[in-house]
Amino acid sequence: MDVLKIAAFSDGDTGGNPAGVLIDDVLPDAAEMQRLAAEVGFSETAFAAPDGERWRVRYFSPESEVPFCGHATIALGAALVRQFGDGIFPLTLNQASITVEGFRDGANVVAALQSPPTKSRPAPPELITEALALFGYSPSDLDPAIPPALIHGGADHLVLPLKSRDVLAAMHYELKAGQAFMRREGLVTVLLAYAETPRLFHTRNPFASGGVYEDPATGASTAAFAGYLRDIGWPHGGAIDIVQGEDMGMRSRLHADIPPAPGSSIRVSGTARMMDEA
């Protein structure tokens, strides 16, 4: 089977988060999708097949299925644009219905997804304490302006806002311990975020639940985080930009548009580049 390799949320012609994309007439069975995702080895691979006027989509990491993956959706949008032309493509996920749209921009594709609805709630103190210890932090490393929270925008995440870029860069953890923590708590990733300005954030995303130490660009957590900032009345001005992956040497750029309605979908956009043609 021909699995495309596409870097989503790239910084022009470099960086981004690699995703596998397989478009076929019918979806393979779950075991075969899991095998292919492990063989590709990227943090996620998206599998898509036509379903009437929509596309049925499932996402697999090397070790497990995930309900929603932003960067793999952007990569899928790029693949659909290259095959069918510019447009908006309705997607049916395991637990939600969303869209991805895209248009060609030279050799690359600019794509945008509409996330599932968002929600958030305060993180329990004991969960915060355990997460801080896991990543080598103390309570004094947190940004007092943005409380830690459990956030959702198609998948569940814990966000730990940090007080400086240096603190963000110092993140470290043991993969197996992180995997046990995230799987026990039902978290797809933990989002570590630093606010350079009210509209510009630097983030890191440990993805131990899927067997990946860190993701260089994470659209699902970006959508969930944008929804959370809306929930707490953060002065986002209707949109935020995120720089991710710098500490991995894979600088990525994500943009999130934030409508005012509580819980409504977040539009997350960025550039996708074909890795096979790089």
Distance separating alpha carbons of residues 55 and 276, to the nearest angstrom: 24
* pLDDT for residue 278 is more than 60: no
pLDDT, tens digit, 9 for 90 and up, residues 186-221: 999 999 999 999 999 999 999 999 999 999 999 999
User: What does pLDDT average to over the chain?
Assistant: 96
pLDDT, tens digit, 9 for 90 and up, residues 64-93: 999 999 999 999 999 999 999 999 999 999
Longest dimension (CA), the chain: 53
Give per-residue burial for 143-170: e unless 16+ CB within 10 Å, then b.
beebbbbbbbbbbbbbbbbbbeeebbee
pLDDT band at 105 (very low <50, low <70, confident <90, very high): confident
pLDDT band at 277 (very low <50, low <70, confident <90, very high): low
Average pLDDT over residues 221-227: 98
Distance separating alpha carbons of residues 68 and 72, to the nearest angstrom: 9
Give the model's pLDDT for residue 106. Answer: 85
Distance separating alpha carbons of residues 252 and 124, to the nearest angstrom: 31
Does residue 130 carry a catalytic annotation? no
pLDDT, tens digit, 9 for 90 and up, residues 108-140: 899 999 999 999 999 999 999 999 999 999 999
0.85 exceeded by pTM: yes
* DSSP-assigned states of every residue in 127-193: HHHHHHHHTT--GGGB-TTS--EEEESSSEEEEEEES-HHHHHT----HHHHHHHHHHHT-SEEEEE
Q: Which of 32, 44, 53, 101 is catalytic?
A: 44
In the chain, the domains with their CATH numbers are 4-112 (3.10.310.10), 119-272 (3.10.310.10)
Output the CA torsion sign for 203, 207, 212, 218.
negative
Average pLDDT over residues 131-151: 98
Helix axes 175-185, 125-134, angle to 10 degrees: 160
User: Please, what is the end-to-end C-alpha distance for the chain in angstroms?
Assistant: 21
* pLDDT for residue 1 is more than 80: no
